[in-house]
Structure 1
């Protein structure tokens, strides 16, 4: 059964006020288009989760959609701070819950496997357990009774991931830099997949090992080319480093950030209008040359 949906319909039906929402993708394949639609629809009181909340969460939090952030490292990668997040953290407006990268992966993994906790060593000699009561010391039942740390499962209401391609049923293929898209999809109650291309099932079946998220976990498939901009999609377009540098200036000034949201998000009805506003030649320097990978012969029964 086809799960194809518009971005507006997918966000409207699957993201609800008060939800815990995870937009994942590690530098690569970050669904800015979905984040912008959440802003357009003025969702409120969300708990946002992400290993590396960067510019998309700065935009969403600056737009007022979130009351809490569950995260590991945060910042504008290679540039500086997330100034909208910082203003609210330093004021009364945003609750935060911080982990290491591996701590967040452990939480998603425990959620995906329906485990009561995930054990780690990485919080030894770290101050985070002192400020985060969800990081708890435990004693190993094996060996010499080593002290470890446990984090609870994280089961978002909605996971949103961007990918290169999927079929209409939701079988989703990703290549290039992977984050924890698989773990967050299996941990979440509802999953929206945003893709550069929708392909026939035969294309997916011809290269089955590239499937990261299977159809059984997907609720909606949104066809949204260049929907990860200004992050990148391997083989489709490169990271827009100029945008990240510009965001430092924009986000420092609350009025400038509000004006940017009014022009580029609220002032566009969808991602296609956002792209049209960038201009038809904007991606000329961001489009990579073809670099096909070697093919594999899977064989066939006679």
Structure 2
């Protein structure tokens, strides 16, 4: 059930502490840019675990969260280090159960979008013809056929996605708590509207959101918390603010490929406590 509340200004640590609990279903969304890295790192820092993570295109942020032991399940439609290769921490969890076994539920992009849209509309499922002719239905029992009451056509259906918490990054919020997203838009709106709580990190807080082309405005009354976090999407980019750090994506491949190197990276850059716990498992 959607909790309608006016967005509150909070620090990122306060927002994660208030709204993200162990065992929850959490979606960190952003497509190509505006990926909420700072929020994901704060979840690692606060030691959250047993999370069911949802993301249309998990990239190195979820590789980091999975490697840090935050996740028990991943619902996704593509997983990789964009332009580089595999997600090694993701693969280690699936193939070898390190640092913990990871359940996966794989979808198509369109299927994930349909599931989020269904969740936002408070419908029980979404529809996606794109599954027909693929082998996804053979590996994902949550993709099922329903019969159209008008044409008798069998159409693939997916259960609605309704996260406990959605977390996104955006360019701006105004002082009332309304949020602007400009540039490429993924499923941020649908994820926020489908979720019980929503945290938004932003580059800046302004008096007026302005009239930006291709803008998406999320009203304050569907958001739980606004956190001022300049640079909160790095190493992805924020349209109009900073470019993608391609070197960071390239460098991640060798860091993630080795458990010991990953643990060292985690301890040096994000969470020494989490790294220390992983050392006992390596």
Do they superpose with TM above 0.5?
yes
Counterpart of 1:222 in structure 2 is: 227
* 1:103-132 residue CA offsets vs partner (Å, 9 max, x unmatched): 111111000000111111000011111111
2:59 to 54, 59, 82: 54
Q: Which whole-Å deviations, capped at 9, do the CAs of 1:7-52 have from their partners, x for residues lacking one?
A: 1100011100111000000111001000000000000100000000
Which 4+ stretches in 1 moved above 2 angstroms? Answer: 204-212
Deviation, 1:141, is: 1.8
Q: Secondary structure at the match of 1:78?
A: coil
| Offset at residue 211 of structure 1 (A) | 4.0
Structure whose alpha-carbon radius of gyration is higher: 1
What corresponds to 1:130 in structure 2? 138
Partner of 1:64: 69
Residue-by-residue CA offset, 1:198-224 (whole Å, 9 max, x unaligned): 112xx1376698343111111100000
Deviations 1:172-192 (A, max 9, x none): 101111110000000000000
CA distance in 1 between counterparts of 2:95 and 2:211 reads: 51
Q: Equivalent of 1:31, from 21, 24, 36?
A: 36
Deviation at 1:65, TM superposition (A): 0.6
Higher relative CO (Cα under 8 Å, sequence separation at least 6) belongs to 2
Change (3 A) 1:238 1:208: closer
* 1:72-151 pair list within 5 angstroms: 72-92=77-97, 93-143=101-151, 145-151=152-158
- 1:221-263 per-residue CA deviation (whole Å, 9 max, x = no partner) reads 0000011000000010000000000000000001111111101
Q: What residue is the counterpart of 1:158 in the other structure?
A: 165
Corresponding position of 1:257: 262
Count of matched residue positions in the alignment of Structure 1 and Structure 2: 265
Q: Which of 197, 201, 205 is the matching residue for 1:198?
A: 205
Distance in 2 of aligned mates of 1:209 and 1:167: 18
Task: Quote the Cα distance in structure 1 between the aligned partners of 2:106 and 2:10.
Answer: 34
Q: Give secondary structure in 1 for the equivalent of 2:226.
A: strand
Aligned to 1:299: none
Alignment partner, residue 231 of structure 1: 236
Instruction: Check whether the contact 1:170–1:193 (CA below 8 A) recurs between aligned residues.
Output: no
Distance in 1 separating the partners of 2:214 and 2:256: 41
Secondary structure in 2 matching 1:35: helix
1:245 aligned onto 2:253: no
Question: Aligned match of 1:181 in 159, 179, 188?
Answer: 188
Deviation at residue 142 of structure 1 after TM alignment: 2.1
Unmatched 5+ stretches in structure 1: 269-302
1:122-158 CA-to-partner distances (Å, cap 9, x unmatched) read: 0001111111111001222223x22210011100000
Q: Provide closer, same or farther for how the CA distance between residues 265 and 206 of structure 1 changes in structure 2, counting only shifts above 3 A.
A: same
Give the C-alpha shift of residue 168 in structure 1. 3.5
CA contact under 8 A between 1:204 and 1:211: conserved in structure 2?
Answer: no
In structure 1, C-alpha distance between the alignment counterparts of 2:159 and 2:7, rounded to whole Å: 35
Q: Tell me the distance in 2 between the aligned counterparts of 1:9 and 1:254.
A: 30
Preserved contact between residue 163 and residue 174 of structure 1 (Cα < 8 Å): yes
CA distance in 2, matches of 1:103, 1:66: 22
